[in-house]
A = this chain, B = another copy of it.
Amino acid sequence: MTIQKVCILGAGTLGSRVALQAAISGYTVSVYDIHEKALDFGFQTMKKILSQLEKGKLLKEAQEKILSRIYFTTDAEKAIQDADIVNESVTEEVEVKKEVWRKFGKIAPKKTFFTTNTSYMLPSMFAEESGRPEMFCAFHFHDVFYSRVVDIMPHPGTDPAMIPMLEDFGRKLNQVPVLVQKENPGYIFNTMLLALIGAAGKLLTGEVGSVEDIDRSWMVNFHMPMGPFGILDSIGLDTAWHVTKNRTDSASVAFAKHLKSYLDQGKLGEKSGEGFYTYPNPAYKSPDFIQ
């Protein structure tokens, strides 16, 4: 099977980026969302990324050609028409995702492969709902352009032949495919990132080190542009709190409480202008920070 048409469900931050990359890679793309406003957000996001991404490299004309391959619609039937593969990036709520898969399972052509871009759920939670569990797999992007890993995570019922197909498709999307051999919440990268962030949180709430000294340690020793608290600010403290609050060990409980105290003050990280640092010029970006 050759993939020609890609259908993206959900025009949020990640869905838009996957759709844009698919169009850059030459695919025909449909982007479906229930809200016209979301589609407009997606279109604006793509235009912004295109102009940043290819600064001075891509002519206006080429940018327009890429965008012309993307069709935005609130009409599910039109979105799925002739699609070879679906990648779903709708809200991270079980019931919402289940409903979407029930709906598209009914109207999709028989040939269409189904993939979910969920960050913290598992494909087995939706595979049966889709009506074609053997053609269902997680296919999870990070941010597409800077962090180019794509996780391929089958559930026990996925046809193994889907894996090489997705590896090939992932490479065509300029990603580095990684096989998650069995279902694991957080895949591979997020599992490690959460361990790092958990350790940083424990050092902070245990009063072993300051936010700045913890970040500094990571940045200087690994020559990285940000440390765990800078990363948390960019992920969003609300997202971090949602993940941390479900853990029951004492370090996670203490850190969730700490994160909540930021949320209660409206400090969500970079997007709200303040988190562990203040934006748009956080201290960790200053050359003085690591001297």
Contact = CB atoms under 8 A, between A and B. Distances in A.
A59 interface: no
A191 B180 contact: no
A188 B214 contact: yes
A213 B179 contact: yes
The CB with the most chain B CB atoms within 10 A, among A149, A196, A207, is that of A149
Interface in A142-180: 142, 147-149, 151, 171, 176, 178-180
A195 to B, nearest CB: 4
Given A184-B208, A195-B198, A220 B291 contact: no
Nearest to A175: B220
Chain copies in complex: 2
Contacts of A290: 176
A117 to B, nearest CB: 15
Contacts of A203: 184, 188, 191-192
Question: Closest 9 interchain pairs by CB?
Answer: A195-B199, A147-B221, A189-B217, A188-B217, A178-B213, A195-B195, A192-B199, A176-B220, A184-B208
A51 interface: no
A181 B202 CA distance: 13
A74 interface: no
Given A207-B182, A208-B180, A210-B179, A149 B189 contact: no
The CB with the most chain B CB atoms within 10 A, among A142, A149, A209, A220, is that of A209
B147 A192 contact: no
B207 A196 contact: no
A202 B185 CA distance: 13
Given A148-B221, A180-B209, A181-B209, 6 more contacts: A147-B220, A176-B216, A176-B291, A188-B217, A195-B198, A196-B196
Contacts of A216: 149, 176, 178
A73 to B, nearest CB: 32
Contacts of A222: 147, 224
A269 interface: no
A224 B224 CA distance: 8
A184 to B, nearest CB: 5
Nearest to A231: B222
Given A192-B199, A192-B228, A217 B184 contact: no
Nearest to A148: B220
Contacts of A199: 191-192, 194-196
A71 interface: no
A179 B209 contact: yes
Contacts of A182: 206-208
Contacts of A179: 209-210, 213
A176 B151 CA distance: 36
